[in-house]
Amino acid sequence: MVRRIMADPTAPQTFRLKLSVGDLAIDTPVSVPGGAMQPETVLPTLQKVINAMVDAAEARETSAGREISCRKGCGACCRQLVPISRTETRAMRALIAAQPAERRDALRQRFDAAAVRVRDAGLSEALLDPAKRQGRTDRELSLAYFALRIPCPFLEQESCSIHPDRPLVCREYLVTSPAAACANAGQEGVVTVAVPKFSLGARGLEAATPSENTLADWIPLALALERPPPKQPRSLPGTDWIKRFFNVAQAGRDA
């Protein structure tokens, strides 16, 4: 349930978000800038929502005597397929473009190297175009990608160099199994923490119609520079983007 605190559409809009999913519940204020905007503008709000749900999941695990294994310097999961939405793709490209020249060039070289390895493995078309996946599930594609052991272009010293800006799906991935298990090719022995996958909601932010199935509308973070940036959608009020996010997230969880 979302209860409006401020009503002026030209001012920043603040809401009290009360949400229960299974045994998890959050109650937190969230804000979006006022006026019409591009969807990238609300990404910080979506990050806060997912962070709050993840915090609740961590508290549940701790109460049950289970310890989160993830630590800085443990980067096995940073070689997994990281599916990002159109909105996150544009934000990621903007983040790279805003870096100092030397770092920007280094990042682009890493992205280029990752793209070459994916292309040499014959996975590029399937990962970049949902129509060419030929019935291969996300799980199958994920394992094929993970087998390549390609480090995320943002991985430095086995840690995420853009941690505050990391993709939504990365925030939802936590394990309680030994960190060493995360490197297993088939992910045997990996025990993930049950976190609602609200990151699915970002895939439908820019859908042409509310009924459009957008679950397959993603590309790997490592290939974010491999095609032209997604076309900018029309601007909408921030509250409209938030509503779209939750509607698609709910549909994805029900699918």
Question: Residue ranges of the domains in the chain?
Answer: 2-254
Kindly state the DSSP code that residue 150 receives in the 8-state scheme: P
pLDDT in tens, 28-74: 998 888 889 999 999 999 999 999 999 999 999 999 999 999 988 89
Mean pLDDT of 114-137: 94
Q: Which H or E run contains 237?
A: strand 236-237
Structure confidence at residue 1 (pLDDT) = 45
Q: Which H or E run contains 36?
A: strand 36-37
How many angstroms separate the CA atoms of 225 and 214, rounded?
A: 21
How far is the CA of 121 from the CAs of 141, 187, 254, in angstroms?
Answer: 12, 20, 33
* pTM for this entry: 0.91
pLDDT in tens, 185-243: 888 999 999 999 999 999 999 988 767 888 889 999 999 999 888 889 999 999 899 99
* Percent with pLDDT over 70 in the chain: 94
Contact 130, 124 (CB under 8 A): no
Token digits of residue 129: 């175009």
Contact 244, 204 (CB under 8 A): yes
Average pLDDT, the chain: 91
